Chain A
Amino acid sequence: MPHTPAPRTPDRDDEHHGLVLQPRNVRFDWNALPMHWIPGEPMATHVINVLHLLLPEGERWFVRTFKEALPLIRDERLREEVLGFIGQEAVHAEAHQGVLDHLLAKGLDPRPYTRQAEYLFQRVLGEHPELTGTAARENVVERVAVIAAIEHFTAFLGDWVLNADGLDRAGVDPTMLDLIRWHGAEEVEHRSVAFDLLRHLDPGYGRRIRAMAITGPVLVHLWVRGTRFLLANDPTLAPGQARPSWRAYTAASRRGLLPRLGRAGRSAARYLGRHYHPTQEGSTRQAVAYLGSSPAARAAAH
């Protein structure tokens, strides 16, 4: 059956066509980072810190998987976007690794959790040598579908953090705020790439949906256990001093320190729509505007 590629061009006047994605060589200095970088908010701090636990391994896995997908791409412009995406993800991984190193130096050993992240992304979701030929190739596409689902959440979080005035009001550590906003802005900037790649490799609805059906709940569970782990191992907290609870989460999200659960749920539901495209979420203009003023991105520009 002849296949007509769906239009990759954004529908909205607001979105840029042919945006060139380039990694930015950012550097962050964590020496002055306090343990609770949202002042007085250990739980909200650690909910966001779960990013640092998961992202270095997760984004390295994105890079490996997309490298494997490169020979399958039959659209040169898409390949160029994928290459830009890979470089941005590679830099993100190292930027978050720096925070992990800092946590360890401050007495919060992240390694029990990051060992699990390594296992998850290298073994469970890694290459499976028992698969060969077309099955190995389909496994690459399946992993791209998982990445497209994860990228829906990273774009949601990126859009949230760019608009989270509550973080400004709370006096968040400026370097950390710049890290999460720079990262969020690049996630918004490249939010269509994994989805477009999936649609190029397998335009079917089934694979997209089942990947989200698995990824969504697993991601939520990883987040919950990451938050618990960080709070339990935070050397500055007395045992039981800051217990994680959904009630505390909701209260923090009302203060604008964390994304609202209802919004996250509705956003995940939109991914299931047949006519979903990532350009419908978030604003490239806002991301571009932040990247022009981000201290780290500005220092990295050349």
Chain B
Amino acid sequence: MSPEPTPLPPPPDLYGRGHDDRFMRLLDRVTRFYLPISTRKDRYGHRTVAPTPALLPVVVAARTVEAEGVVSLELRSPVGTPLPAWQPGAHLDVDLPSGLRRQYSLCGDPADRNGYRIAVRRIDTGGGGSLEVHQDLSVGTGLTVSHPRNAFPFAADPAVLLIAGGIGITPLLPMAREAARRGLDWRLVHTGRSDATMPFAAELAALDPDAARVVRRPDDEHGGPADAAELLGHAPTPGAAVYMCGPAPMLDAVRAGLDGSPGRGLHFERFTAAPITGGRPFTLRLRRSGTTLAVPADRSALDVLRDQDPATPYSCRQGFCGVCRRTVTAGTVEHRDRRLSDQERAEGQMLVCVSRAPEGECLELDG
């Protein structure tokens, strides 16, 4: 398949009757008549549409220590207006004052349109985002956040098992709240290192007055972490949908253990771009404009192209959907995609979301 359409002659009749297909010719003729009429007026250009900002200004209205090493922040509009609506599983991109951007699940009540609540565990060995939240974001600090986006939607299935590992409770707490409100048959298992490090015990207890639905399971009181069979065994009925958020090993174990367990569907937050491993710096040259762009070791060619042109096409950022394909007219590509055929690679195609070049190489892109 070529990415650009090529002029084609009218195709033959479907049943090999030796003439052009009449219906196709009719469609072509109608289109040639229709094109000038339908494109005569500049309907797009005659309107002035202001760019819609994607970011919201907020201010830290409250800061609460929720557990050992966990603080929550209440974010409000600086002018006191209601904030955009959201549903359980939604997150915000938070632009921290240092310039770091971090994603945090909303863990408050969707019915409260006046504030967003996020909760952050302090990770001393991480990239610094959680330390900044813990140390520098005091009440009154102004921040910029994205509109709520939901990569972990809750389907409110009739029977649900919610599995939370540590701070992974944040997206699941609003799901539990919705499950209780809708009268679903739900269970929630919350695991963590120790009782003192596990936030929101009181809120969970309030959702479960009969103490029949929420299981809190600190590792240190149970001789170590739970295995998948134990976690999935908490399903309220066979066929329950499983929603899970927690550390990667726990997620992998639950995924592997799902078949043969009472759990049926499995939902978890899917992350798009995997971190770049073994990347080296190289450069891109855009053939038409002559612009040269440096691609550092820790960024993709796509990231750099998007900085330059926000309308750059891409989608999966994992090298399988093929939307970001570009044609390379000079230079050696280090292919890392799972999509292109050998022939497409030989023709110079490249998926810029994952593929790179050797150190110091200059790739010339057509366009």
Q: Which residues of A come within 8 Å of B, CB atoms?
A: 1-3, 5, 9, 16-20, 22-23, 25, 60, 63-64, 67, 70-80, 83-84, 86-88, 90-91, 112-113, 115-116, 118-128, 131, 134-139, 141-142, 200-202, 204, 207, 210, 214, 218, 221, 225, 229, 232, 284-286, 288-293, 298, 301-302
A sample of 22 inter-chain contacts (CB < 8 A) reads: A16-B150, A20-B149, A22-B315, A76-B53, A76-B54, A83-B323, A84-B315, A87-B323, A112-B16, A118-B8, A120-B24, A120-B27, A121-B5, A124-B28, A134-B45, A135-B40, A138-B38, A138-B40, A142-B39, A207-B43, A293-B241, A301-B255
Q: Check B153–A16 contact: CB distance below 8 A.
A: yes
Which stretch in B73-81, B285-293, B306-314, B342-350 binds the other chain?
B306-314
CB neighbours of B265 from chain A (8 A): 289-293, 298
When A20-B149, A288-B155 are in contact, do A127 and B316 touch as well, CB less than 8 Å? no
Bound-state Cα–Cα, A201 to B43, Å: 8
- Check if B86 sits within 8 Å of A17, measured CB to CB: yes
Beyond A119-B24, A138-B43, A139-B38, whether A74 also contacts B311 by CB under 8 A is no
The answer to whether A221 and B155 have CB atoms under 8 Å apart is no
Asked if residues A5 and B52 are in contact (CB atoms below 8 Å), the reply is yes
Chain B residues within an 8 Å CB radius of A127: 5
Which residues on the B side are within 8 Å of A116 (C-beta)? 11, 14, 21, 24
With A23-B320, A119-B8 known, 5 other A-B pairs at CB within 8 A are: A20-B150, A73-B311, A90-B323, A112-B11, A210-B38
Q: Which residues of A contact B12 (CB under 8 A)?
A: 112, 115
In the complex, are the beta carbons of B44 and A18 less than 8 A apart? no
Bound complex: CA A22 to CA B264 (Å): 22
Does A138 lie within 8 Å of B316, measured CB to CB? no
Instruction: Contact check, B150 vs A19: say whether CB atoms are below 8 A apart.
Output: yes
Q: In the complex, which residues of chain A have a beta carbon less than 8 angstroms from the beta carbon of B338?
A: 25
Q: Which stretch (B131-139, B226-234, B267-275) binds chain A?
A: B267-275
Closest to B110 in A: A17
Q: Is the interface of A mostly helix, strand, loop or mixed?
A: helix
B29-82 interface with A by 8 A CB criterion: 31, 34-36, 38-45, 47-54
The 8 closest A-B pairs by CB, nearest first: A87-B315, A292-B265, A293-B265, A76-B54, A122-B5, A289-B155, A138-B39, A20-B151
Interface centre among A16, A78, A202, A298 (most CB of B within 10 A): A16
Kindly state the interface size class of chain B when it binds its partner.
Answer: 35 or more
How many residue pairs link A and B with beta carbons under 8 A? The number is 212
Q: Would you give the shortest CB distance from B274 to chain A, in whole angstroms?
A: 8
Give min CB distance, A83 to chain B, whole Å.
Answer: 5
* Chain B contacts for A293, CB-based, 8 A: 241, 264-266
B14 & A113 in contact (Cβ 8 Å cutoff): yes
A123's partner among B28, B255, B267, B321 (CB-CB below 8 A) is: B28
Instruction: Give the distance in Å from the alpha carbon of A174 to the alpha carbon of B27 in the complex.
Output: 37
In Å, the complex CA distance between A71 and B151 comes to 25
Which residues on the A side are within 8 Å of B147 (C-beta)?
Answer: 18, 77
B residues near A119, Cβ cutoff 8 Å:
8, 10-11, 24
* Cα(A20)–Cα(B313), bound, Å: 16
Contact of B39 with A135 in the complex, beta carbons under 8 Å: yes
Residues of B within 8 A of A19 (CB): 149-150, 153
In the assembled complex, the Cα of A289 lies from the Cα of B159 at a distance in Å of: 11
Task: Enumerate chain B residues within 8 angstroms of A122, measured Cβ to Cβ.
Answer: 5-6, 8
